[in-house]
């Protein structure tokens, strides 16, 4: 029975699926479980006041916050619907929480995002939404931030699932909430430190206020700084919804490593790095099988049975085999595992090469990203930073041997140094680290057969250069969305939210013909005159076959030779005569068909 228990002990466990991170996962994992995020929103009167009173279209800070939360909800439904989200308002007139604190209203507890939750938040949009909020919750005049953080901590503790990331996003435009009460400010700082010690991160999403938002007055001691973030970098205050959305997306996105490996610089020097996947192809989510009586998800279980007596087989009862020549080689499960192992997982430095030696045609697959991990080996960040700085100064790349997992073959890779970049809002656009680029093996390269080509003369080449120069633009991969996927998710959103019709996705991959024609002007016609002959018509259409010809081909009779006649000719040795008979019948049928067809056309007056 011990064999059964060890093999099926995790079966039916809800957290089992969360331990599998996909085929690209590997190495040691620090995080496993669900991501949890609480939106803590300031609901005082200042959040409902617009910066420009004359502009009716300008969003108030509270409207920007709700729009941003709605965007995160819809994204989570698509990308990771198993994550947990919650919404808490503080500074409210009414209160609703488990601890009975005043001026704190828990709108939604930690749970999976869904259509009902999105619709509940959608009621707070616009002027009608503002009135709905005042009627349902209302704005208060007093609150304690430490009590609001206490309520958020209780929401985390009430969750029964295993959680990997625990974050609180604080939306406010008040830079000194307890300026006149030092006791409340001290309690808030203490509670924030307690949250930090228990692994709960507090992120500030501060909004624009008259006179500017001074983070040094209070929130510098409140917000949490993760291990992989620069303590000296603080966001600028947000005055637009787009800026706020960028900040929230940068914070709420998962930072899970594919693996944490040792990076060996020599026999005696090593550091620990994390391998991250920055680019992942988006797929349409697979359908979920539901039980037709209750609409509950159906779990699939696999069992192995003996074909002779139908008995259930233990894992130890099965073996694996491989045919080699005329022999069948039988292997134990442990032997097959050992066959797949080449080396211990890790990165081993081979040497350095100039960056100019890496060519575009060496591209094999999307690169990974390498970043130091201080939690495993102390001093990894300092050594990694020194290596990155020197590689940037000398413009060289590190050539390494990379083994991602025990069961994976080794790869030759290059570590290309990458410098950090920040935008005008102090949001990190490009992180500092190394791009891990896979190098091709000899059998990855193929020789493409080139056909004979007609060389263009210099005048044609110059004209095409002018056309290409006119059509150049700065390309960013994130500027083009997959129109099929976008429309698919819009259709699902319309069904879930009971919308009248789904929003039509804009196909950004289609060329802008009018803008291109305006840019090119007469260059296209000039190029055509240089390349194509005068009578060339690129839009010329091929002549279609007449309908009568298609009908006549379909009406043509089929001539068949019976099986008995064919066997008789084979037995007599007169197969050629049979073939002649077949052709004679075919010609006779063709003549009859031609005569009948002519007679039919004559009757119709053709």
Is 30 annotated as catalytic? yes
Residues counted in the chain: 606
For residue 222, the tally of other CB atoms under 10 A from its CB is 21
Query: What would the two tokens of residue 557 be?
Result: 């009779």
Q: Helix or strand or coil: residue 539?
A: coil
For residue 347, the tally of other CB atoms under 10 A from its CB is 25
For residue 432, the tally of other CB atoms under 10 A from its CB is 18
Catalytic residue from among 30, 254, 390, 518: 30
Task: State the chain's maximal CA–CA distance in angstroms.
Answer: 118
For residue 337, the tally of other CB atoms under 10 A from its CB is 12
Query: What would the two tokens of residue 435 be?
Result: 């791009």
Angle ∠(449,452,454) on CA atoms, nearest 5 = 140
Which is nearest to 566 in space by CA: 581, 578, 583? 578
DSSP for 255-318, please give it: ---SEEEEEESSSS-EEEEEEE-------PPPP--B-TTT-PBPPP----B-TTT-PBPPGGG-
Angle ∠(150,151,155) on CA atoms, nearest 5 = 115
Pairing of strands 433-438, 270-276: unpaired
Q: What is the Cα–Cα distance from 154 to 84, expressed in whole angstroms?
A: 14
Q: What is the Cα–Cα distance from 135 to 125, expressed in whole angstroms?
A: 14
What are the catalytic residues?
Answer: 30
């Amino acid at each position: 029975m011990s064999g059964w228990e060890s093999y099926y002990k995790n079966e039916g466990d809800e957290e089992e699926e969360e331990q599998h991170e996909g085929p690209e996962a590997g190495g040691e994992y620090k995080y496993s479980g669900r991501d949890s995020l609480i939106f803590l929103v300031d609901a005082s009167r200042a959040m409902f006041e617009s910066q420009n009173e004359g502009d009716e279209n300008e969003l108030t800070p509270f409207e920007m916050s709700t729009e941003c939360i709605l965007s995160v909800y819809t994204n989570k439904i698509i990308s990771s619907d198993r994550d947990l989200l919650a919404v808490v308002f503080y500074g409210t007139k009414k209160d609703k929480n488990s601890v009975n604190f005043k001026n704190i209203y828990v709108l939604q507890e930690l749970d999976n995002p869904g259509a009902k939750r999105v619709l509940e938040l959608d009621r707070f949009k616009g002027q009608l939404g503002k009135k709905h909020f005042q009627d349902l919750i209302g704005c208060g005049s007093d609150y304690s931030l430490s009590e609001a953080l206490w309520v958020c901590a209780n929401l985390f503790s009430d969750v029964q699932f295993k959680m990997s990331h625990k974050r609180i996003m604080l939306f406010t435009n008040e830079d000194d909430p307890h300026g006149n009460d030092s006791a409340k400010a001290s309690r808030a700082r203490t509670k924030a430190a307690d949250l930090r010690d228990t692994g709960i991160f507090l992120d500030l999403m501060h909004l624009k206020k008259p006179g500017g938002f001074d983070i040094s007055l209070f929130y510098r001691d409140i917000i949490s700084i993760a291990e992989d973030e620069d303590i000296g970098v603080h966001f600028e205050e947000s005055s637009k919804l787009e800026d706020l959305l960028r900040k929230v997306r940068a914070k709420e996105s998962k930072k899970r490593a594919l693996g944490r490996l040792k990076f060996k610089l020599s026999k005696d020097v090593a550091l620990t790095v994390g391998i991250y996947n920055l680019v992942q192809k988006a797929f349409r989510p697979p359908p979920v099988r539901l039980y037709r009586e209750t609409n509950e998800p159906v779990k699939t279980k696999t069992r192995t049975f003996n074909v002779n007596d139908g008995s259930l087989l233990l894992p130890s009862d099965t073996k694996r085999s491989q045919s080699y020549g005329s022999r069948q080689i039988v292997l134990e499960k442990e032997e097959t595992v050992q066959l797949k192992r080449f080396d211990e997982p890790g990165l081993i430095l081979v040497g350095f090469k100039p960056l100019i030696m890496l060519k575009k045609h060496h591209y094999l697959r999307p690169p990974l990203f390498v970043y130091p991990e201080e939690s495993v080996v102390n001093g990894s960040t300092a050594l990694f930073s020194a290596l990155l700085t020197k590689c940037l100064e000398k413009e060289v790349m590190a050539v390494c041997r990379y083994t991602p997992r025990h069961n994976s073959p080794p790869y030759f890779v290059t570590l290309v140094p990458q410098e950090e970049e920040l935008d005008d809002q102090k949001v990190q656009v490009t992180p500092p680290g190394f791009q891990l680029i896979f190098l091709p093996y000899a059998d990855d390269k193929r020789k493409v057969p080139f056909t004979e080509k007609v060389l263009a003369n210099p005048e044609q080449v110059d004209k095409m250069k002018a056309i290409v120069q006119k059509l150049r633009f700065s390309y960013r991969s994130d500027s083009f969305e997959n129109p099929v996927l976008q429309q698919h998710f819009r259709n699902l959103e319309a069904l879930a939210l009971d919308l009248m019709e789904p929003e039509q996705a804009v196909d950004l991959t289609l060329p802008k013909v009018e803008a291109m024609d305006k840019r090119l002007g007469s260059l296209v016609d000039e190029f055509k005159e240089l390349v194509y002959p005068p009578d060339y018509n690129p839009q010329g259409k091929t002549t279609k076959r007449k309908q009568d010809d298609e009908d006549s081909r379909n009406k043509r009779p089929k001539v068949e030779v019976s099986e008995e006649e064919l066997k008789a000719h084979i037995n007599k040795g007169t197969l050629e005569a049979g073939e002649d008979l077949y052709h004679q019948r075919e010609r006779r049928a063709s003549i009859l068909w031609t005569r009948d067809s002519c007679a039919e056309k004559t009757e119709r007056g053709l």
